[in-house]
């Protein structure tokens, strides 16, 4: 068997931000239900673990297979590595293999900005002009979230808060070559931000949730796992909340639990992405809105199908 392989560059070429965002929205409008998405599967591996994310669809199905090697960064290697296998849903025959890291690096910001776009549109008085966007993190997800946000909100003003100044400056310099102006930021800017993007591997809250402005939007998308926290319980409790999927949030959204128990969240029944983009979500005047994302397999499948259909095989 000889399968086409889409490397990172091929995935990028076939999946521009606005195209991926439109594909994700179209999938949700056409009936993709986040509550039916397959759970992420974890299995031990030497020096780390496997993450397996299967997804099914009418035309295509697939599975993303990732490895997490906690010792890799000390060796100068990526901590997370993997591939995506795209499958024909009719015959279950493999169709293509793709770079799993690049697929993740694209679908996560695209999903976040799909949510942010609709949350901002639902604000009383509409989305702010030239919104102030504060980004926590200076890794690949921070870089790509700024790229995606610039594509969706071209008038936005960006600042970034990173743990290591040299990494922050590298990110700023890279984006400058792409015509995106970003300046170094600080935690003190949280009260003035219209949009806060949390794209870190932090296990503890990044800022005081009481400092977030009424009406602001916070997206916490850097982590999955019930022991992970990018935002605190104070923000969760004072915010309107949107999740990718309710079931996936109860399993993995440490930003939401233990601010409230899974049973309390089930009773609250927060909007998921499908509810959001089909108009079944209303903002509360004077409240922030928190979008909590953990990453879901259906997003990988939609993006991989787009790459396969648009991309040219090597």
pLDDT digits (tens, 9 = 90+) for 44-76: 999 999 999 999 999 999 999 999 998 988 898
Q: Is the pLDDT of residue 314 over 80?
A: no
pLDDT digits (tens, 9 = 90+) for 75-95: 988 888 999 999 999 999 999
Whole-angstrom Cα distance, residue 257 to residue 249? Answer: 9
- Which residue from 127, 255, 132, 236 is spatially nearest to 185, judged by alpha carbons? 132
Q: Within a 10 A sphere around the Cβ of 77, how many other Cβ atoms?
A: 10
Whole-angstrom Cα distance, residue 200 to residue 103? Answer: 18
Which of 127-131, 147-151, 252-256, 306-310 is least confident?
127-131
In the sheet with 80-88, reading across from the earlier edge strand, the strands are: 5-6, 94-99, 80-88, 60-69, 48-55, 41-45
- Distances, alpha carbon 176 to alpha carbons 146, 182, 257, in Å: 12, 7, 38
Instruction: Mention every residue, 6+ apart, whose C-beta is less than 8 A from residue 94.
Output: 1, 3, 85, 86, 87, 88
Beta bridge partners of 136: 161, 198
* Predicted model pTM: 0.95
The pLDDT assigned to 35 comes to: 97
pLDDT digits (tens, 9 = 90+) for 93-148: 999 999 999 999 999 999 999 999 999 999 877 778 899 999 999 999 999 999 99
């Amino acid at each position: 068997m000889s399968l086409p392989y889409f490397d990172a560059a091929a995935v990028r070429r076939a999946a521009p931000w606005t195209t991926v965002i439109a594909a994700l929205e179209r999938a949700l409008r056409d009936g993709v239900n986040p509550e039916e998405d397959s759970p992420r599967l974890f299995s031990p591996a030497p020096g780390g673990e496997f993450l397996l994310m299967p997804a099914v669809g009418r035309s295509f199905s697939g599975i993303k297979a990732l490895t997490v090697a906690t010792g890799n960064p000390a060796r100068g290697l990526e901590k997370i590595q993997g591939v995506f296998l795209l499958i024909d849903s009719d015959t279950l025959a493999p169709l293509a293999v793709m770079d799993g890291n690049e697929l993740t690096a694209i679908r996560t910001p695209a999903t976040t900005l799909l949510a942010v776009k609709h949350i901002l549109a639902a604000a009383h008085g509409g989305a702010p002009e030239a919104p102030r966007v504060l980004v926590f993190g200076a890794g690949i997800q921070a870089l790509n979230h700024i790229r995606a946000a610039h594509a969706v909100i071209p008038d936005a003003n960006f600042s970034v808060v990173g743990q290591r100044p040299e990494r922050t400056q590298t990110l700023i310099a890279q984006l400058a070559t792409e015509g995106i102006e970003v300046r170094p930021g600080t935690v003190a800017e949280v009260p003035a931000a219209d949009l806060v993007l949390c794209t870190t591997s932090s296990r503890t809250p990044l800022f005081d949730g009481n400092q977030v402005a009424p009406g602001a939007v916070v997206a916490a998308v850097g982590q999955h796992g019930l022991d992970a926290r990018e935002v605190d319980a104070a923000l969760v409790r004072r915010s309107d909340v949107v999740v990718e999927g309710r079931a996936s949030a109860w399993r993995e959204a440490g930003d939401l639990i233990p601010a409230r128990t899974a049973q309390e969240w089930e009773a609250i029944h927060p909007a998921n992405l499908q509810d959001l983009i089909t108009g079944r979500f209303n903002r509360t005047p004077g409240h922030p809105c928190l979008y909590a994302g953990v990453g879901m397999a259906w997003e990988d499948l939609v993006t991989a199908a787009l790459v396969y259909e648009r991309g040219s095989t090597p």
